[in-house]
Structure 1
Amino acid sequence: MEYTFKHALTLKVTYESLLGEDRKSLHRAALVAMDRLYAGSLNHHIEELAEHALRAEAWEPAADYLLQAAGRAEERSAYSAAVQFLENARKAVAALPRNPKTLAQAINLRVRMRPAYGALGAYRKALPQLLEARELATELGDPQLISDVLLHLSYLNSSHGRYEEALEPANTLKRGATVNGVQRCISESDLAASQALLIRSEARQVLERLVPHEERFTKAWRLERFGQLGARAVWYLGHRAQAEARLGRFDDAERSLAELQKVAAEVARPIDSCAAAYFTGVVGVLRGPEPALVEALQLWFSEAATSASILLRPWLLTVLGHAEFLLGRNHDAGATLEMAVTEAERLDLAQFECHARAVLACVRARLYEPEAAANLGHALELARGRGDPWSEIIVLRGLAELKPSRSAIGWLEQACNLARRVELRPELARSLLALGLARRRGKIAGADATLAEAAKLYTEMQMREDFSGMKEPTGSVLPDRVPMAVTA
């Protein structure tokens, strides 16, 4: 017997009038019929099968079908749907007897919640799942599952600016993988550690970790995701480009970005394309942005706002606002960075909130806003508290610019010393230029030598900003006013 309904409301009322056991029986019958009817093409009906199995409380097939449905949703970047399937899978697995198979399923689905919740910016929901998965994996004693959990823990924590919490699982994973000779886990642990190390601008360590794995990430595993949000080659090349740019090796960084763009085009997934835009933006900001970069970042932010790449929106807004600031578009930068701060706070992306607040405080100083000094003080405290040297250097220059007097020399000397220590060479060049100009205005000895060192760095790195007036590295004359983009 078959019933059809012309109106969805009629169907809903009729369905809800059935007793619970009758509903289960109907779903169980539908599940059996679909299994038989579509035996050769179940993949095309996974979502319907998962729904019927779940409502029939046929927990074993429900767990299998729901996990498959989650995988299909992840492939099309439908992370809200993926989360719903995974939460239902957790319910199904919890109803099954506790044994090695169901323990492995419980671990697997919790691990998979990390990229799904991560893409939605739901850090607070993802972290407890991973911590529980770590306990379950330790109980089961499965080395591969333990490795998967550690890797996801590292990525989750570094994405949210938690340096120590990200580095510990990455290093633990590498030690175990090295003992067991598992090359993929060794390579992935170094990539995860690199993402954490970039928080502190430890660029040289990043390259030491990444360079040995180039062949694997860019060729053998070029389009692989290994259960992560994005193609591993995109993130490998993006992190490498950032490290190269921090060291002032812009030609190398541009080559890394060119290869990254190829991979992103091959993968053709929104999250990889938005990540590629962000990595390109970071390199562009460090070298000195061009108007075309701002236009590209605005385009990709629009893409992120309409796609599943919610997590990357604060990333793109932060680097876009920084680029606008360096180009002297202070009002645009202020509006962009205020959005970045709001989004970063909402998604608990502490490192992006820190950087956005640092640049925003400098924008407000440029615009002579009354609270500029207080904003800079708060941003400096935040940057130091989070161990973010790039943001700290930016704020130190902002403080010097706010009060261009002899007291500014101290701020700029701190900026130069910090930039030297962490080898953030583009920011060292900018800080030296600002320091040289401040010393010259104050008629303080050493101004010409400082400006000559800055000019040498600008030339060596081929930075795109205009070092106007410095024709020779040993020159002693600079125009009193240099474009704002240079002193920022």
Structure 2
Amino acid sequence: MLDTVRVPPTIHAVLASRIDRLSPEVKGVLQTAAVIGKDVEFDLLLAVADLPEPLLRQALDRLQTAEVVYETSSYPEREYTFKHALTHEVAYGSLLHDRRRSLHARILTTLEQRYAGRLTEQVERLSHHARRAELWDRAATYFREAARKAMRRGAYRGAVACLEQALAAVEHQPQTHALLQQTVDLRFLLRHSLTVFGDVTRIHDQLRAAEAILRELDDPRRLAKLSTYMTQYFWSVSEHDKAIEVGEQAIAQAGGLGDAALWLEARLYVGSAHFSRGDYGSANRILTENADALAEVDSREARLLASISNCYLAMSLGFLGRFVEASARSDNALRIAERTEHPFQLVWASFGIATLAFLKGQMMDVAIPVLERGMRLCETTEMQDLALLVAAFLGYAYARARRIADGLRLLDWFVVHAGAQVRVMHYSHVGFIAAEGYVLAGRPEAAIQVARKSLEVAREHQERGFEAFAHHVLGEIAAKREPLEAETTANDYREAMSCAAKLGMRPLVAHCHLGLGKLSRRTDRQEQAQEHLTTAATMYREMDMQFWLEQAETEMRELA
């Protein structure tokens, strides 16, 4: 922005002296052009410069001769640009404040007239000129619309900047009831953009600021929204019991208002919290009802909620070994996300597909292409929070595909950045997968550190399913140590199997039987090995887990 540029004093003085030597008409044209911006349309300049067209053309010719501006286009519209950014800055700064503000207001009005009916095309320029003109109501409106436009194309950092400017504009206005409602809506929208980055501290700040305003307003609908968004916040920081408690309040509030969209959104977050706690029965019931209800609503917002509902439902069903249903839901999530072309939803859909591929052992042929697209989307839209999740999965997938260097690069990046930047809940979602990747890549010490942290986080937040996965990977790590500590290894497998069996996590139970079968074979307990391997093979066959079935059958042949 212009007011952040720092021009060296000597250069500033030289440029200011050159501008002062221009004739009043030419100097006025230069200053007006500077207020328009670095790139200047001739028709816009003519509309605001207070000069007849012949005199304006003469002034521009002189400025070109002086190498201050140059013509960049003559068709379909004549356009000029400043040759140097510093000249533009000094010319802009040579105007008195009131004159600058007046010119910005005239430019704003002219742009509104020229682009009537399609203001969205120019909303970034409109917001800039409205702010500089100190027309705060229009500035707030245009910055909000600029934020929405940025969000549609996945430019969330730009959206955050625009919403902060909109909030600043609101503060300059009388705090009427309607304006306070607008302020709450802006904070809700800002919270939505911050969600992409996992910036839970700032999300919490926005929600608490909105709550303080709503205490003074009689506004049940916005209070219901606040409860819904607080539900998502508590789930995001792994306070799942609190998320379910507040979420049930939000569901009741939205139901009382007859707001079906908000009711479904609150249920999504409650269902997701049940999933994170390991209550897959409750998660499946809520998310199935949600996904089916949303399928009947044809709106962009409904499709976004439907994609995530299907994604979490797919993972929950997958953890139970119900892969036919899970795959259908995962395919739905991806199809809906591709229809919306929303980067955030596309990445989440890839996360769901990768979870099922991880469980079934299909990482190479199924998950890698989807995850690679997800990583590219994260990089282009600066969604680092999600990038960390994708990196853990993709690092594991590369390691399983024997692309060890690629896998380690992503796994190391995940470990370095996860502690400081990823939400705690997300660590438990993928920490055990990163640990599995390190096992495959031959880095047992890194694997055990990540697995122990994953176990610690899961226990702290009572995420029982992820606790079971962490115990299993600790067993896998211990099984590869030399000398083998058979009892320690067996205990980790048994802890994982006990927890998984209580939660109905059949794929993980089968994995534990496979691990115990291998361990028993190594320690010459042939009968136990046969029993565990047979159980694992039977379960894999029933769930159509072909990759793992082949592993179990190979072990059984070697045992025989």
Say yes or no: TM over 0.5: yes
Is this contact kept in 2: 1:270–1:308, CA < 8 A? no
Is this contact kept in 2: 1:224–1:231, CA < 8 A? yes
List per-residue Cα deviations over 1:193-252 (Å, max 9, x = no partner): 12222222322211111222334312314x4227xxx82221121111111111111011
Q: CA deviation at 1:363?
A: 5.0
Q: CA deviation at 1:31?
A: 2.5
Q: CA deviation at 1:418?
A: 0.7
Amino acid in structure 2 at the alignment position of 1:438: L
Matched, 1:455 2:552: no
The partner residue of 2:462 within 382, 387, 399 is: 387
Worse overlay, 403-412 or 368-377? 368-377
Question: 1:485: which partner in 2?
Answer: none
Is this contact kept in 1: 2:396–2:437, CA < 8 A? no
Aligned counterparts of 2:521 and 2:424: Cα–Cα separation in 1: 38
Is this contact kept in 2: 1:271–1:308, CA < 8 A? no
Amino acid in structure 2 at the alignment position of 1:453: T
List per-residue Cα deviations over 1:327-381 (Å, max 9, x = no partner): 6766654432222233433433223334544344455556364576566544433
Matched, 1:396 2:471: yes
Question: 1:423: which partner in 2?
Answer: 504
Matched, 1:120 2:193: no
Question: 1:151: which partner in 2?
Answer: 228
Q: Paired residues, what number?
A: 474
Aligned counterparts of 2:326 and 2:369: Cα–Cα separation in 1: 21
Is this contact kept in 2: 1:138–1:146, CA < 8 A? no
Matched, 1:72 2:149: yes
SS at structure 2 position matched to 1:176: helix
Is this contact kept in 2: 1:28–1:52, CA < 8 A? yes
Amino acid in structure 1 at the alignment position of 2:122: H
What does residue range 34-49 of structure 1 map to in structure 2 within 5 Å?
Answer: 34-49=111-126
Amino acid in structure 1 at the alignment position of 2:368: V
Aligned counterparts of 2:337 and 2:505: Cα–Cα separation in 1: 27
Worse overlay, 450-459 or 423-432? 450-459
The partner residue of 1:312 within 382, 386, 408 is: 386
What does residue range 12-411 of structure 1 map to in structure 2 within 5 Å?
Answer: 12-221=89-298, 223-225=299-301, 231-292=304-365, 293-324=367-398, 332-364=406-438, 367=442, 369=444, 376-401=451-476, 402=478, 403-411=484-492
Q: Residues 329 and 165 of structure 1: is their aligned pair in 2 closer, same or farther, counting only changes over 3 Å?
A: farther
SS at structure 2 position matched to 1:141: coil
Amino acid in structure 1 at the alignment position of 2:542: E
Q: CA deviation at 1:406?
A: 2.9
Worse overlay, 66-75 or 155-164? 155-164
Aligned counterparts of 2:197 and 2:113: Cα–Cα separation in 1: 37
Question: 2:88: which partner in 1?
Answer: 11
Aligned counterparts of 1:282 and 1:219: Cα–Cα separation in 2: 27
Aligned counterparts of 2:439 and 2:122: Cα–Cα separation in 1: 58
Aligned counterparts of 2:453 and 2:118: Cα–Cα separation in 1: 59
TM-score by length of 2: 0.77
Is this contact kept in 2: 1:123–1:348, CA < 8 A? no
Is this contact kept in 1: 2:514–2:532, CA < 8 A? yes
Question: 2:514: which partner in 1?
Answer: 433
Worse overlay, 94-103 or 405-414? 405-414
Q: Residues 381 and 45 of structure 1: is their aligned pair in 2 closer, same or farther, counting only changes over 3 Å?
A: closer
Identity %: 24
TM-score by length of 1: 0.87
Amino acid in structure 2 at the alignment position of 1:272: Q
Q: CA deviation at 1:72?
A: 1.5
Aligned counterparts of 1:426 and 1:325: Cα–Cα separation in 2: 21
Q: CA deviation at 1:46?
A: 2.1
Aligned counterparts of 1:273 and 1:302: Cα–Cα separation in 2: 11
Aligned counterparts of 1:149 and 1:419: Cα–Cα separation in 2: 35
Worse overlay, 101-110 or 188-197? 188-197
List per-residue Cα deviations over 1:149-179 (Å, max 9, x = no partner): 2223333443454434533432220122233
Q: CA deviation at 1:313?
A: 0.7
Question: 1:466: which partner in 2?
Answer: 548
Matched, 1:479 2:555: no
Amino acid in structure 2 at the alignment position of 1:422: L
Q: CA deviation at 1:75?
A: 1.5
SS at structure 2 position matched to 1:139: coil
Aligned counterparts of 2:430 and 2:283: Cα–Cα separation in 1: 23
Is this contact kept in 2: 1:358–1:394, CA < 8 A? yes
Q: CA deviation at 1:91?
A: 0.7
Larger Rg: 2
Ranges in structure 2 where 5+ consecutive residues have no aligned partner: 1-27, 34-67, 70-81, 479-483
Q: Residues 271 and 445 of structure 1: is their aligned pair in 2 closer, same or farther, counting only changes over 3 Å?
A: same
Aligned counterparts of 1:362 and 1:377: Cα–Cα separation in 2: 12
SS at structure 2 position matched to 1:225: helix
Aligned counterparts of 1:251 and 1:287: Cα–Cα separation in 2: 12
Aligned alpha-carbon RMSD (Å): 2.9
List per-residue Cα deviations over 1:441-464 (Å, max 9, x = no partner): 442865444333322221111113
Q: CA deviation at 1:25?
A: 2.0
SS at structure 2 position matched to 1:220: coil
Aligned counterparts of 2:453 and 2:552: Cα–Cα separation in 1: 35
SS at structure 2 position matched to 1:98: coil
Aligned counterparts of 2:506 and 2:532: Cα–Cα separation in 1: 14
Q: CA deviation at 1:325?
A: 5.1
Considering Cα pairs closer than 8 Å and 6+ residues apart, tell me whether 1 or 2 has the greater RCO: 1
Q: Residues 202 and 341 of structure 1: is their aligned pair in 2 closer, same or farther, counting only changes over 3 Å?
A: farther
Amino acid in structure 2 at the alignment position of 1:405: A
Aligned counterparts of 1:65 and 1:167: Cα–Cα separation in 2: 37
Amino acid in structure 1 at the alignment position of 2:356: V
Aligned counterparts of 1:373 and 1:62: Cα–Cα separation in 2: 53
Worse overlay, 376-385 or 22-31? 376-385
Aligned counterparts of 1:353 and 1:19: Cα–Cα separation in 2: 54
Amino acid in structure 1 at the alignment position of 2:174: P
Amino acid in structure 1 at the alignment position of 2:339: E
Q: Residues 289 and 256 of structure 1: is their aligned pair in 2 closer, same or farther, counting only changes over 3 Å?
A: same
Amino acid in structure 2 at the alignment position of 1:431: C
Amino acid in structure 1 at the alignment position of 2:548: D
Aligned counterparts of 2:557 and 2:470: Cα–Cα separation in 1: 24
Aligned counterparts of 2:133 and 2:559: Cα–Cα separation in 1: 78
List per-residue Cα deviations over 1:388-419 (Å, max 9, x = no partner): 33443333233334145133222211110111
Aligned counterparts of 1:178 and 1:271: Cα–Cα separation in 2: 28
Q: Residues 150 and 478 of structure 1: is their aligned pair in 2 closer, same or farther, counting only changes over 3 Å?
A: farther
Aligned counterparts of 1:369 and 1:262: Cα–Cα separation in 2: 38
SS at structure 1 position matched to 2:194: helix
